[in-house]
Amino acid sequence: MASSLVATYFLPLILFYIWATKSQSSSNNAATSTTALPGCNASQKPRGLSFRDSSLGSDELKLLDFVLLATVDGRFHGLNRTTGRMLWSMDEPVGNSQEVGTNLKQLVSSEHAGLRKANDFFLDDLDDPASTETYIIEPQSGVIFVSPADGKREGPLHRLPFTMQQLVDMSPFRMDHRTFVGRKRTSVITLDLASGELVEALEPEQQCKEAFVKVDRTEYHVSVFSSGQVTQNLTYASYGSKGIDKEMQYHWRRTPDNFYHQSTPDGTLLMFKTDEKEPFHSFINLKHPVVAVFDAVSIAERSDPLLLSQPKPALSDLYPSRPRELRELSKQDEITWVGRVGDSLYALSQTTFPLVVFSQLPKLPTEIHEIDDLGDGLKMACTSLNCLTGPHRTEAATMSMFES
């Protein structure tokens, strides 16, 4: 099912990759993978681009030749910033950390009363919209999208005016006959950037503190109640650098070397260098989409690297030679891609993940998702997770949509 979706919706973008890759293939083939992180040898200094930026609160900074990636399944991956080669990945066994790494749960988890895991159909009374609408969360942003309550695939997703974080802060919160009850918890992950191993999996003699970073994992849990029953259980987690100066992150609006990393829904990560005539640099494939990218910066005042969330450039910076195509894309309906990780759905909006704009919307109507009226108020609807995967038109939700 997943492979057919990629072939259907991403064929034009894949062809675009091939076109862009031709101009870069010769130079990328000669690239070699080198780590740019500090080693356990005190004489080994981290390699990278030195720069000065007083707005970041320090005059002595160095952008390390390393990028930390997080995929929607909750795992981390280390990338060489210059060559675009993978240094390590939690998708592959790394020392003692593989078992611990698998305990990093996916960033979005949901239990939907009206959805099944298998690709099948069932009869359901659709009189209560709250029992059939599906809440889908976007990783890292916490934005919530709601699928059509009538189960029609061609209907648009509606973007709620509240994020998971806001619902937790307002908990308990009532909207019409729905009640949202939430909580949150934060845990700290200590990661060795040089090897990709979690520190709790390392023996003391194996630890290399110069490359340790602490990453906050904040989890938000929201239960949706309707008519006294739980209709949805939603869990969303986000990664952030431990103890980061918010003002420093605020001023990190561009990268000093003009390298940027953008993911597509099929797990392809594209790398761009926006100060070049043709910014496309290279790409790699991962098992799941990348939902968070962190730049690593060395600061004179601290021994451990600092992680900053990488800013997102405009599409016009990534594809400066294709203004006409971008103008046409900007006129189309807003698109949100719905994917599946495990037994949960997640959303990727074109606002947070710009390359989603290249997705092709399905032709309407989509026969497999049609709802047939069988009389007596009973209707047949596709209720599996796979029924909702793929690109969707998106609209902002209004409060009237949730009134009985």
Digit-coded pLDDT (tens) for 302-342:
777 889 999 999 999 999 988 998 898 888 888 999 999 99
pLDDT: which is higher, 370 or 255: 255
Nearest-angstrom CA–CA distance, 235 and 52: 40
Nearest-angstrom CA–CA distance, 213 and 242: 8
Q: What is the pLDDT of residue 241?
A: 79
- Start-to-end CA distance of the chain, whole Å, equals 35
φ, ψ (nearest 5 deg) of residue 375: 85, 165
The string of pLDDT tens digits covering residues 156-208 is 899 999 999 999 999 899 887 889 999 999 988 888 888 888 876 445 555 55
Q: What type of residue is 389?
A: T
| Cross-strand partners of 390 | 338
Calculated CA dihedral for residues 109, 142, 84, 320, nearest 10 degrees = 140
Are 202 and 196 spatial neighbours (Cβ–Cβ below 8 Å)?
no
Share of the chain above pLDDT 90, in %: 35
Q: What type of residue is 148?
A: P
pTM: 0.80
Q: Using the Cα atoms of residue 346, residue 350, residue 356 and residue 359 in order, give the sign of their dihedral.
A: positive
- Closest by CA to 212, choosing from 231, 229, 199, 230, is 199
Give Cβ neighbours of residue 214 (< 8 Å, ≥ 6 apart): 188, 189, 190, 191, 241, 242, 243, 304
Q: What is the pLDDT of residue 292?
A: 95
The string of pLDDT tens digits covering residues 258-271 is 999 999 999 999 99
Are 182 and 192 spatial neighbours (Cβ–Cβ below 8 Å)?
no
Q: Is the pLDDT of residue 88 over 80?
A: yes
Q: What type of residue is 26?
A: S
- The whole-number average pLDDT for the span 79-100 is 75
Q: Model confidence at 93, in pLDDT bands (50, 70, 90)? A: low
The string of pLDDT tens digits covering residues 199-218 is 764 455 555 566 788 888 99
